[in-house]
Amino acid sequence: MNNAAEKIQDELVRCPICQRRMRQEVFLKHPNVCPKNPSNKRNVFDMTNYRSVKAGDQIIPVKKMSTIFVDKPENVSARPSQTRSVKRDRHSDTLVPPVIDNFCCPICKRKFCEKAYDRHAAFCASKTK
């Protein structure tokens, strides 16, 4: 493998102007292009021109991405067990989630909301018969 790579390196020709190495076929065309390259500076491609919306004479830039992913919460480095212990130590003055009224099926002891309970009760009763 190294012999093949060395053989390819030996076949490459170095340009005296730009010091680039290239194959012989490419080098024959290269002197026409090489003197032009250093004199012309390339423009930096600006994607905002293409992403912005033109409304008459004004250019309206597209909304930037939010920094949600950049700002990290303080407890990212904390272990999950540490965060659970903090949740357990809350005082009683914190808000308690509202109690959801679920209906318990007398046959299978599963809990359902009102609409689902009506459907389930008929199904469960017919299933047990």
Dihedral angle, C-alpha 120, 124, 127, 129, nearest 10 °: -140
Kindly state the helix (H) or strand (E) to which residue 103 belongs, with its residue range.
Answer: strand 103-104
At 58-93, the pLDDT tens digits run: 766 666 666 555 555 565 555 666 556 555 555 555
Parse the chain into domains and list their residue ranges: 2-37, 101-129
At 14-47, the pLDDT tens digits run: 888 777 788 888 888 887 877 766 666 667 777 7
pTM of the model: 0.25
End-to-end CA distance of the chain: 78
> CA quadruple 123, 125, 128, 129: dihedral positive or negative?
negative
Q: Any idea which residue has 């012309």 for tokens?
A: 40
Dihedral angle, C-alpha 25, 27, 28, 34, nearest 10 °: 150
